[in-house]
Every structure is written in structure tokens, then in C-alpha cells.
A and B are shown apart, each in its own frame.
Chain A
């Protein structure tokens, strides 16, 4: 298209301006960059909380902050100890506490134990009523054995009574079992028998029995209150040690976490074989941030280096590559400065803006240089005329592509999801900054570095295009059909590509906090994440707790009530029923006499016979009981020969064991009697009796009571999370807590992105129609985007790649890129007849290819990340970029070839693509000043 006079003169003025001001422009740019970097270092903060991704004026965030303020926001880090042996785990916990108390400035609060002394007198009232009833039934059922033993205290009596019981049970079951009401026969619990036999074996071997024999008679909570007060999970698999770190903010929390892990490892070294790790909400956040920041830094440098290498390869020029790299770095510095000024901080999402922006905006310089190469072709060297032609011909496409990219991100700024809004603003600003940097700095630097010679401006810029790969597009219909098919298949495939909403799946699976969170969830159904609600009175607390416990989605609730006994009246009634037996039986501290070994062997042999037969006849489902019986059989087989052997030590050892046995029995019995009597008579613990750490966590200074609600399912998965949150809200619509925030975050994030993408597409479509003044052209410009996205989704389906909260960011990214290639190709096709003649000039194709490959590298560099979310974004964006490239260089030209035949070469309305007209409007003199520019 021939240059109009005014356009020609505007470009000439511009180039003269660049030639004169190249160095000042560069100096100003560098100074601005340095100032921006300094400003960024001193003022930019990083907000690492997920709460910062959601608008703070949201009711939920306000409620959450209120809850944190009221109850202190404690216990953000949890040390999890795998319980191989309770005593060892407890000792580890005590040692850890001693070590951590040396760092009060890092760990002001530790919560791992409640002293049970003040609760011992009500120990039985803390048991579940079912457990208490079981003790009562067992006690009343064993009354004759206990009375018999008390009347004639000896080992022989004990085993005789046990044997009689078993024989009666065996005969009763065999001959009159059908009279019983229970469908399934109850097998005797021989744990006490086995404990006594183990002790006897040890004694006969000359060793001291290790454990209390009678502890197995009672539930584990009562068996040894020395272990009580420590926080074991329900299945006893893990011991939990809660730590409140001092630091607030990523940097100080990271330091606290590193120190905590260091201390844990040091203490762990004293306990070979013991496994322990740190998790909890603060640890999960810090690990995620640390991993992300490390990876993003590496990704950014890799991205930059990779892109520059690619450019060297394509341009075969180190100089131009360095120029582009320099422009990118300066633009990035300006962008950081602007971000610090406008936004002030980065969040979990906007942290990754740098490699994304580099990947997108390097394209502008690439298109410019590709066009420069073509313009230089005929001239053979750089000159201001060549620069003017380059500028004039490439700038419109670059500007519109840039504006389209901005438009693709602007809708993000209007979503209610703060994290995305900030990312949208940052990327939009960054693209504009880079656009200006490219259009201002690249020509200036080329003038400086390549010493472009000045000369007369030509009447018109000579057309020099050669076709891309010398393709003539003889069968465009086939490619068009292929494009349509790929897009249609993509639409179908979209239904089969799932959206994985589990945030734990995004994390680095080898991060310690993630490993231990999974262990807790999988092995003991315990999560460090819980819902929270507050009540104004104890009565309301009770009612809400009862309502929550009935929910199938709730595993258990914690509140002050968890530390107080409940159903006291009913439990005291059970204790009263035990009292007559308790009072009527007294055990001496030692046996009445020694047991005759021969008689003892005889009675044990009779027991053994029954055990042997019982083992043979037990069914598969009774594996646990069978194991017990097998042990009984094994132990008796060890004991009987020893009793019948001629051993001078035998009587003494037997006598010693008898003393131990009855001493243990008397101590356990007396302790149990004390528990029963104190359970009946002692005052029931109240709120005032609770230790301060408990009251602080569950009662606010304003008198509010906290309820922590733990889920029964894995709420890191969206389905269970939704059910849990909905059921929480059915009890209290003001419930908050991590699961509630996560639910809102997950939905808000996904919906925001999809809404923004939809709005962006609409806005871009309108922009294209206005730009090309033709719906057909607008649709053509969308082809790389539509076909490329269709191809990407097909590949996702084939490779079984789901969408997730991280890689869904690909959606707005691919919009900008797809549109850019369409605009670049179509702009040239519309503006230049020589381009239309060959459909796709090589320099344009080269620019698009290089732009796509650098974008691929830019996003692909994210795949170095151990953070699976970032990795998946890198992977998907790589696949997407390449798909859009393929569509741009194959399907779009085919469409253009078809359209070209019917294209009106003299359109009635020219597209508003003329840069000269714009420049003229911008720099024209006032009407009373005439210049050569005036027509």
C-alpha cells in the first residue's frame, strides 16, 4: 500500500526523533529501571495467605479475621510423631518441648499436654458411656471369679477359676447356646489371661514382668493415666504437638519453620527409628511459598536465557538478541516498579507474573525484528528509511496485538477474587509497559548498536515478501476441514476433561508438610484443617455440638466441653451399680500361699486343651480372637514343661510371680475403687478448673465459645469439602475455618477465571470487528485461538491431563497469544497486497513461529517447578502455545486462501490500521503553523 504523504512524513519525523534522541531515551530508560528496582526492593511485599487472594471486604474473610482475633489464631504448626510406642513418643514430645523452650522469640506457645492430675478424680466420668457400661458388665460378669480369688488368693485359684469359666462357657455354648438372645456368639476376651501368662513366662525365665497385668481389664484411657493428657489421635497412631510460631508474614514464618524442623531433627536423632515431621496450615503455606519462590526465580532466569538463545538461533545475531533481552529486562524492572506503586504487593497468584509476561511480551520485539530483517533484505543494511518502513508496517499489528493481550487480561481486574484481579491488573500494566518499551527502546537501541545510516525516505516501502516455506496453499479446503474437525472434537473433549479442585494435588508431593498431612488423613482420618464456629453461651455450645456430632460429614468436634465430662448423672448411675461389688471385694497384697507347680501344670493343661480346640474351630472373621487363643496356647506350651521340670529355682520364681500378681491386682483394684468412689462423690470439673491454654483456645475474652469441627472425609477433595461446608452452614451459616475458606476460594477462583475469559473473548471479538470493520475478518483473526484451543483440549483428553486451579490460568493466557498471531498475520494480509498474493509471508511466519516458541519456553520453564500446580500450568501452556502456532501457520492461511478469492481488493471502507494517520494526528502542528507535513 503506498504511503500517504502525511503518513510518510510522520514516520520520517519519528525516525529523525529516534536518531536524535536515542541516547537520551536509553539513559532515561536505564535510570527509570534502576529507580524501579530500588523502589521495588524497599516497598514491595509478598502476601502468602490464601485469605489475601479473596477480597477482604467479603463477609467470610471478615468473619474469619474476627474469629482469629477472638481466639488467638494459634497452633499454626503441628509436629506429628508416629507412635511406635506411647512412652517413647511421649518422651520425645517432652524432649522437644525442652528444646523449643530455648527459643521463646520464635515459639511463644507450645501446646502438647494437659496435666491430668486435676481430672483424675473424675477419670471414669470422662469415659464414653458405652465403655463405662462395658466395664460394669465385665465387672458384674466376673464377680464370681473376683470373689473366688479374693477368698482364696493364689495363682492356682486364679487359673482354676478361669478354667471353670471357660469350661462352662464351652459346654453352655455347645449344648444350650441356642437359648441366647445374641445372634453372634461372644467369644471370651483372653487378654487378661494372656497378660498373666506372659508375666508367668517372664518370671519362670528369671525376668521381671514389665507391664501391669490388669491394665487390659480397663479401657486404654484409664489403664495408665500417666499417658493421659497427651494428644494422641483416636487410633493412637500419631501424637500431635501444637506449636504457635511468632512470625507473621512469609519471611518470618519460613524462618520459624526452618528452626522448628531443625530442632525436631536434632531431637529425633536421639530416638533412632522414630518418625516425626512438621505440618499444619502455616507449614503448608510456608512450604508452598518457599517452593514456588525458588522455582519461579529459576523459571524466570531459565525463561529469559532460553528465549534469548532461541532468538540468537533465529536471527543469527547476538546483537539483536541482546537488544531484545535488554529491552525485556528494562521493561520488567519498570513493571515491578509500577506494580509496587499501584498494587504494593504480590500474592500467591501474581508471584508468577514475571515468566508469564516475558513469554507474552517478547513477541513484540520478535515481530519487529522479523520485519526489520525483511525490510533490510533489499537494502542490505540498516538505515533510517528501513527503520521507518519497519516501524510503519509492523507497529499497527504489534500495537493491536498488544492491546488485544491487554483486553484479554482486563476482565480479570473486575472479578471479585482479589488474587486474580491483582494478577489481571499486573499483567495488563506489564503488557502496556512492554509494548511501550518495545516500540520506544528497540528502534533507539538498533540505531545506537547498528549505526543505521540516515538517508532520503522512499516514496514507498518496497515489498520484499517471500512465501512461508514456499507454500502455495493449493488445497486450502482440506486444511479448513481439518481445522473445523479439530475444533468440533475439542468441544466434545471438553466434557471429558475433568477439573481437579483438590489443592493438595497442586503442592509439591515431597514437601514435608504435605507428606505428613496425607499420613494423618490416610492413617487416622485426622486433618489439621477444621471448620470453626462460635457461640455466645454454654447452652448454645452444647446444642450446637450435639447437632454437629449428628452430621455424617463430621468426625468429631472439640470445644471446652471436650475437656469436661458429660452425661454425669447417667454415668454416676452406672458407677452406683458397680459399687456393691467394688466394696465387697478386697484383695490382699500377697497370695495366701505358694502354688504347687504340678497342680498348676495340671490346670494349665486343661486350659490348653480348650484353647487348642477353640483355635481349630474359629471362623475366618474371628482372626483377632484366634490370634489371642494361639498366643494362649503358645504360652501354656512354654509354661507347662517348666512347671514339670526339676528346677531348684522353680518354687521361688513361682512365689515371686504370685506376689507380683497379687500386688498388681490389689493396686489396680484399689485404684479402680478410688476412681469409682471419687467419680460418685468428687465435684465435677467445671470451666474454671480447665488449664489456661485450654481456656485461651476455646473461650474468647468476650465470653464466646469456640467449636472446632473436624471432617469425617478427606476435605482436600472437592466433593467431601462441599458436603462438609454445606452441612456446617446448615448448623451455623456464620461458620468459618480453613475448609470454608477453601471451598469459597476454589469455587470463586474457577468461576472468576471462566467469567473473565468469556468477557475477554467478547471484548476481543468486538475490538476485532472495530479494527477490521468486518465480521469475517474478526472471525478469521479468532481462528488460531479457536483451533489451537480445540487441539489443546483434545491433547489434554488423550494425555489424561485435568484442569486445576493453577493451569486454568492458561485460559486467559492463550487468549492473548492466539489473538496476537491472528492479528499479526491478518494485519499484514489486509494492509499489503504483496502479502495477500502469497497468503503468508516468510518473515511474518518466522515472527509468529519464534514468538510461539519463545512463549513456549517462557511457560515451559515453569515445568522445572516441584510445585505440581505450577508444573501443570507450564505443561498446559506449552502444549497450548504449540497448538496455537500450528493453527496459525496451517489452518489460518488455508482460510485466508479461500477467502482471498472473494476478497474485494478495493474495500469500500478502509480498516483503521494506518499508523501514519494516527501519528499525524498526534504530532500535527496547530492550524496557523504550516509545515511540510501539511497536505
Chain B
């Protein structure tokens, strides 16, 4: 009788310790941390444009869950492709997303006034609403994230009501329906080669 109780307590303690980082930093703080780092890089005069882009690229690389995004972007097709294809797809998707998002950040985020709105949590998922505010201009950006052992990680960004992940799902779905998965993967690899 004592032994199962002891094991159960140990498991609970491990779990508690494991989830501590996630419970320690709020989603808003996490999002703010990323944005603050990005804006500090954007406004750092000492950096060359290439160094800036590389640094931002690095932040993005660490901040998004590409495996989850890649799987979600393909929808049900993900289950029907081979392991090798999944790997290729995830790798290429990750590269292309990082490139596109880096460009988005470089173009849109400068010396911005960011207002942080409401934070919503549902289980291990959270949403942080922000608004970039300029005179006579604003744009809402919502960050969607989920909890991992190391903390929060992003899996989607909704820019002015348009979900990036949803965009992928729609466009990839249309490409697969009208052509094939092979066509989609080829196009993505072609784009990757063009960017490298």
C-alpha cells in the first residue's frame, strides 16, 4: 500500500517540476519577450541588415513549433504520406515559414507602439492579443501558443484577422486537390532552392 502512494507522489512532483516553467511565465510575458527582443534588434543601429535578419531568423526558429504547424497545414494528407515525405515536408515548410515570417517582421515591425490586450487560456493553449498602433494606423496581431515542457511555443499568428496557419491549410489543400502532394512538395522545394 505504501509503495504505490510513494510512486504516485513522485510522479506528481516530477510533473509539477516539469510544468513549472510554463506555469512560471505567462503567455503575455512570453509574447512580450519575443517582441521586445525583435524590436531591440530592429532598432539596433550597430547591426548590419544581414546580421539583423539572421538574428531575427534565429528568434523565429526558436519560437515556433514547426512540426505541429507542418502537420496542421497538411490536414488529413499528413497521415497518408510516408515518414520520409513528412520529414522532407516539415523541413522545407520550416525553412519557408521562417523566411516569410522574417520578412514580415523586417517589413512591419520597426519602432512600434504595441498594446497588449486580453490573454486567453484553454488547457495548454493560449492566445495573446496585441495591436500595433501608429497615428491613424493600427493592426491587430494575435499570437497562438501551446505549452511544452520548456515553456510556451507559438504555432500560429493571426494578422488582422487572417490566420497564417489557416492560409497554409487553404492553399496547400487547394494545391493537393487540384494537382497532388508531390506537386506541392516540388513547388516548396523549388522555392527553397530559389531562396538559398
Contacts and interface: CB of A to CB of B under 8 A. Distances in A.
Interface in B145-185: 159-162, 164, 167-168, 171-172, 175, 184
Nearest to A607: B137
Contact of A167 (B96, B132, B161, B187): B161
Given A167-B160, A179-B187, A609 B137 contact: yes
B171 A176 contact: yes
Interface string A167-190: 110111011101100000000000
Contact of B132 (A174, A609, A616, A617): A609
A609 B103 contact: no
Contact of A164 (B140, B161, B167, B172): B161
Contacts of B161: 164, 167
A171 B108 contact: no
B138 A641 contact: no
B42 to A, nearest CB: 14
B37 to A, nearest CB: 21
User: Looking at chain A's contact residues, is the secondary structure mostly helix, strand, loop, or mixed?
Assistant: helix
A171 B169 CA distance: 13
B71 to A, nearest CB: 17
A164 B134 CA distance: 20
Given A609-B137, A637-B136, A617 B107 contact: yes
A357 B107 CA distance: 81
Interface string A593-620: 0000000001001101110110011000
B162 A167 contact: yes
Contacts of B132: 609
Residue in A167, A609, A610, A640 with the greatest tally of chain B CB atoms within 10 Å: A609
B138 A175 contact: no
Nearest to A174: B100
Given A174-B100, A178-B188, A163 B160 contact: yes
A171 B137 contact: no
Nearest to A638: B136
A178 B167 contact: no
A612 B137 contact: yes
B138 A609 contact: yes
Contacts of A610: 139, 160
B168 A167 contact: no
B160 A636 contact: no
Nearest to A611: B137
A48 to B, nearest CB: 68
Contacts of B96: 175, 178
Nearest to A641: B136
Contact of A605 (B136, B184, B190): B136
Of B96, B139, B160, B171, most buried by chain A (CB within 10 Å of CB) is: B160
B164 A178 contact: no
A176 B164 CA distance: 10
Contacts of A612: 134, 137
B117 to A, nearest CB: 13
Given A179-B187, A610-B139, A164 B162 contact: yes
Q: Per DSSP, are chain B's interface residues mostly helix, strand or loop, or mixed?
A: helix
Nearest to B167: A171
B97 interface: yes
Contact of B162 (A168, A602, A616): A168
A505 to B, nearest CB: 54
Interface residues on B, range: 20 to 34
B159 A167 contact: yes
Contacts of B108: 613
B173 to A, nearest CB: 11
Contacts of A167: 159-162
Contacts of A163: 160
B111 to A, nearest CB: 14
Contacts of A176: 167-168, 171-172
B191 interface: yes
B104 interface: yes
Given A167-B161, A609-B138, A175 B168 contact: yes
B137 to A, nearest CB: 4
A856 B162 CA distance: 86
A176 B175 CA distance: 11
Interface string B104-143: 1001100000000000000000000000101011111000
Nearest to A608: B137
A178 B96 CA distance: 10
A846 to B, nearest CB: 88
Contacts of B171: 172, 176, 179
Interface in B26-75: none
A197 to B, nearest CB: 13
Contacts of A602: 138
Contacts of A609: 132, 134, 137-139, 160
B101 to A, nearest CB: 8
Nearest to B174: A179
- Which of B108, B134, B136, B139 is most buried by chain A, counting CB atoms within 10 A of its CB? B136
A179 B159 CA distance: 20
A602 B100 CA distance: 27
A167 B140 CA distance: 11
Contact of B136 (A613, A617, A636): A636
Contacts of B164: 171, 175
B84 to A, nearest CB: 22
A168 B139 contact: no
A178 B175 CA distance: 11
Interface in A569-609: 602, 605-606, 608-609
B175 A174 contact: no
Contacts of A613: 107-108
Among A168, A175, A606, A609, max chain B CB count under 10 A is at A175
Given A167-B160, A175-B168, A176-B167, A605 B137 contact: yes
Interface in A781-837: none
B3 to A, nearest CB: 54
A635 to B, nearest CB: 11
A163 B139 CA distance: 11
B167 to A, nearest CB: 5
B140 A172 contact: no
B41 to A, nearest CB: 19
Contacts of A636: 136
A132 B142 CA distance: 41
Contacts of B107: 613, 616-617
Contacts of A170: 159, 162
Given A167-B160, A175-B164, A608 B136 contact: yes
B140 A606 contact: yes
A435 B132 CA distance: 101
B70 to A, nearest CB: 13
Contacts of B172: 176
Contacts of A605: 136-138
Contacts of B138: 602, 605-606, 609
A613 B108 CA distance: 7
A637 B100 CA distance: 29
Nearest to B191: A178
A610 B139 CA distance: 8
A616 B107 CA distance: 9
In the A-B complex, the 3 residue pairs with the closest CB atoms: A178-B191, A609-B137, A176-B171
23 contacts: A164-B162, A167-B161, A167-B162, A168-B162, A168-B167, A171-B164, A172-B167, A175-B96, A175-B100, A175-B168, A176-B171, A176-B172, A178-B96, A178-B187, A179-B171, A179-B175, A606-B139, A606-B160, A609-B138, A610-B160, A613-B107, A637-B136, A641-B136
Interface of A: 163-164, 167-168, 170-172, 174-176, 178-179, 602, 605-606, 608-610, 612-613, 616-617, 636-637, 640-641
Given A605-B136, A617-B107, 18 more contacts: A164-B161, A167-B159, A167-B161, A171-B162, A171-B164, A172-B167, A172-B171, A174-B103, A175-B96, A175-B97, A178-B96, A605-B138, A606-B137, A606-B139, A606-B160, A608-B137, A609-B134, A609-B138
Interface of B: 96-97, 100, 103-104, 107-108, 132, 134, 136-140, 159-162, 164, 167-168, 171-172, 175, 184, 187-188, 190-191, 194
